[in-house]
Amino acid sequence: LALSGKRDLILHGRDATRLASVRRRCQHPERHREWTAGLADPAAAGESLSDFLRSSGLRVAHFVHCAGVASVEPIRHADPSHVAATFKVNVLSAAAIVKALLDADPLRESLRSILLVSSAASLRGENGVAVYSATKGALDALVRSLAVELAPQIRVNALLPAIVRTPMSQATLDNPAMQDVLARKYPLGTGETADLAGVTEMLTSESSRWTTGSLWTVDGGRTLF
Ligand SMILES: NC(=O)c1ccc[n+]([C@@H]2O[C@H](COP(=O)([O-])OP(=O)(O)OC[C@H]3O[C@@H](n4cnc5c(N)ncnc54)[C@H](OP(=O)(O)O)[C@@H]3O)[C@@H](O)[C@H]2O)c1
Question: For 208-213, what is the mean pLDDT?
Answer: 98
Known catalytic membership, residue 186: no
> How far, in Å, CA of 204 to CA of 155, rounded?
9
Ligand 1 atom, smallest distance to 70 CA: 47
Known catalytic membership, residue 132: yes
The distance from CA 166 to its chain's CA centroid, rounded to whole angstroms, is: 14
Instruction: For ligand 1, atom 47, name the residue with the nearest CA.
Output: 68
Q: Which residues contact 119 (CB under 8 A, 6 or more apart)?
A: 68, 132, 133, 136, 160, 161, 162
Instruction: For ligand 1, atom 46, name the residue with the nearest CA.
Output: 68
Per annotation, catalytic residue among 6, 88, 99, 132: 132
> How far, in Å, CA of 61 to CA of 155, rounded?
11
The residue among 138, 128, 46 whose CA lies nearest residue 84 is: 138
For position 181, what pLDDT does the model report? 94
Residue percentage of the chain with pLDDT more than 70:
100
Question: What would the pLDDT profile of 129-166 be if each residue is shown by its tens digit?
Answer: 999 999 999 999 999 999 999 999 999 999 999 999 99
Q: How far does the centroid of ligand 1 lie from the alpha carbon of residue 223, in Å? A: 21
For position 225, what pLDDT does the model report? 84
Pocket of ligand 1 (CB under 6 A): 13-15, 38-40, 66-70, 89, 117, 119, 161, 163-164, 166-169
Q: How far does the centroid of ligand 1 lie from the alpha carbon of residue 171, in Å? A: 14
Q: What is the DSSP letter of 76?
A: G
Question: For 205-217, what is the mean pLDDT?
Answer: 97
> How far, in Å, CA of 143 to CA of 98, rounded?
11
pTM for this entry: 0.97
For position 4, what pLDDT does the model report? 84
